[in-house]
A and B are shown apart, each in its own frame.
Chain A
């Protein structure tokens, strides 16, 4: 009934072309229960019929940290800004994993759910949003691991400190989630027609990690590349994240602000493109 006088009296008008900015948030709100049921489904189905169950949430970051410590810390001897190597890598991996999981999973959302989407209508955006929230749980669990490690190294008297930037932490998490979501939405919308992008994403995200300050601190980056690395919106977020928890990193409001603007633009673009695609993608996928 909110569609103007022309459609007075009708609850719903289905037509081929709708406004680009009709984002259907009201619809989305109605289906909020579905979002949480999807999250629950993801969580339960993740560890059903596994022996270690939710422990798998820990195993991946632990092993990655050990391998990174060995390869980049010990063999290559890359600086960790004076931080204990385990803490340095684990903090980077935890944050990066959240972003990359969000991006990877949302970038295949149309393809993975073509079956459901082809049979029933619900606001399609529910699906990627549920992925973001599912991954948030996983991120929370991994963060716990980081806190345990911090406690352990703290008792051992290692040189790090939690700074007041920790209050920015929720903002940083939201930024990582929305940046991953926005980029993922753009990619999934494009992959309904051009499958090539799928391949690009799988290794592109992996390579992008090396363009972000996960395995090296920004301060150790050569001056001529620093500018390029700073252009990556994730750099600002990870540096801020590390500064908040460990007290080292090039944290400036400018870099966080840049990442924030970047995130908002990408997210907005993502939602608009996604909404444009969702109406007809069933015909092309």
Chain B
């Protein structure tokens, strides 16, 4: 059993949502009076409310993290995964001391370097070299440490030719390369990385991941990595922490964590509770799920795929009179596909409540997708839910060639063949 590097105990963080500003003086005085003079609990913190952004809470205080407990051993590479708003970033902020916890504590052995953003503190007027020093110092390096590693950093960044040019003349790719190069050469025992690899070209991303792999596997340093890119997490990490609504829903082996996260996000979620919807409500979407061959198999590129929707249809309107449209967007909000039962010739007199869209061979590339649905009955809108649910497609062998289309290149995969003469 190796030594513990990070120990988190009963960690919680409350945020005040909504407006901060007007009326805070009187509030602050009240707060001061009850907590400091009367030694009572803070009147503005309501205990026990979970952080679910789809449900409107009763108070202005929301617990972004609630009673988190975990331990990380030295040399572990831990992937922190979870949906947007699950508390991943808050956890990283607390670990990197940008803000402090409301209750609980974090104990750390060794130096922490955190990379919540690449190029923090870069000054556009300064040259690449000057910025290496500035950024390195901001991240906690001593000047002589940077001087010692300067050549290595410049070499890694691959912008040697422009190193004495002000960074405002850099392309955004060069900027990121330089910034990551500085961060990659930090000499801390613990490295915390937020989703910073989403920038830069594919070659550089690979280089970054390789470097991070070296750091954790080769040098035995501890890495905490937050990402939505499951392939990167799987590749890099040996342990995983799955977060949901501000608490940890699973922790353990990385493969199991990813599976846990994927089933969690693909399993039926109660869309019925979403309040932000349009339409007259005669027919509404209640549940939805995406799966491959059977309902418990994760969607995979090249495999059969089904989107299943459960409707609430109290007036028993026939499917012949219903139009069900759905739109698939990628994680960047870019529209990928649109489907509707109205574009197909289907003769049905069923009045049931289940509708399925089947794709024989899924031609979506690996990644996260969001589905927006729209239901019309007799050509009148009954229900419209933006980003009703999301599903994750895992990497699959579409062409039976063992090779895949880089997700950077395309979200859609097309059946084709190549002829030679």
B125 within 8 A of A: yes
Residue of A nearest to B97 (CB): A121
Residue of B nearest to A279 (CB): B100
Chain B residues with CB under 8 Å of A13's CB are 105-108
A1-43 vs B, CB cutoff 8 Å, 1 = contact: the mask equals 0000001011111111000000000000011011001101100
Q: Of A12, A16, A117, A194, which is within 8 A of B101 by CB?
A: A16
B356 within 8 A of A: no
A110-122 vs B, CB cutoff 8 Å, 1 = contact: the mask equals 0000011111111
The segment out of B112-120, B198-206, B279-287 that lies at the interface is: B112-120
Chain B residues with CB under 8 Å of A115's CB are 120
Contact of A12 with B24 at beta-carbon distance under 8 Å, contacts A45-B123, A116-B138 already known: no
The segment out of B139-147, B313-321, B335-343 that lies at the interface is: B139-147
A206 within 8 A of B: no
Q: Which of A14, A40, A194 has the most CB of B within 10 A?
A: A14
Chain B residues with CB under 8 Å of A9's CB are 109
A223 within 8 A of B: no
Structural contact, B104 and A12, CB atoms closer than 8 A: no
Bound Cα distance A279, B133 (Å): 26
Interface contact tally, CB-CB below 8 A? 108
Chain A residues with CB under 8 Å of B114's CB are 120-121
Residue of B nearest to A36 (CB): B143
B89-108 vs A, CB cutoff 8 Å, 1 = contact: the mask equals 00001111111111111111
Structural contact, A34 and B101, CB atoms closer than 8 A: no
Structural contact, B134 and A41, CB atoms closer than 8 A: yes
Contact of A34 with B96 at beta-carbon distance under 8 Å, contacts A14-B108, A120-B120, A194-B25 already known: no
Chain B residues with CB under 8 Å of A37's CB are 133-134, 137, 143
Residue of A nearest to B189 (CB): A11
New A-B contacts (19) at CB < 8 Å, excluding given A34-B138, A48-B166: A14-B94, A14-B97, A16-B102, A16-B104, A16-B105, A33-B143, A37-B133, A41-B130, A44-B126, A44-B130, A115-B120, A116-B121, A116-B138, A119-B120, A120-B96, A120-B98, A121-B98, A195-B21, A279-B100
Contact sample, A vs B, 11 pairs, CB 8 Å cutoff = A10-B109, A14-B101, A14-B105, A33-B143, A37-B133, A40-B130, A48-B166, A120-B120, A193-B24, A280-B99, A280-B100
Name A's B-contacting residues (CB within 8 A): 7, 9-16, 30-31, 33-34, 37-38, 40-41, 44-45, 48-49, 115-122, 193-195, 279-280, 282-284
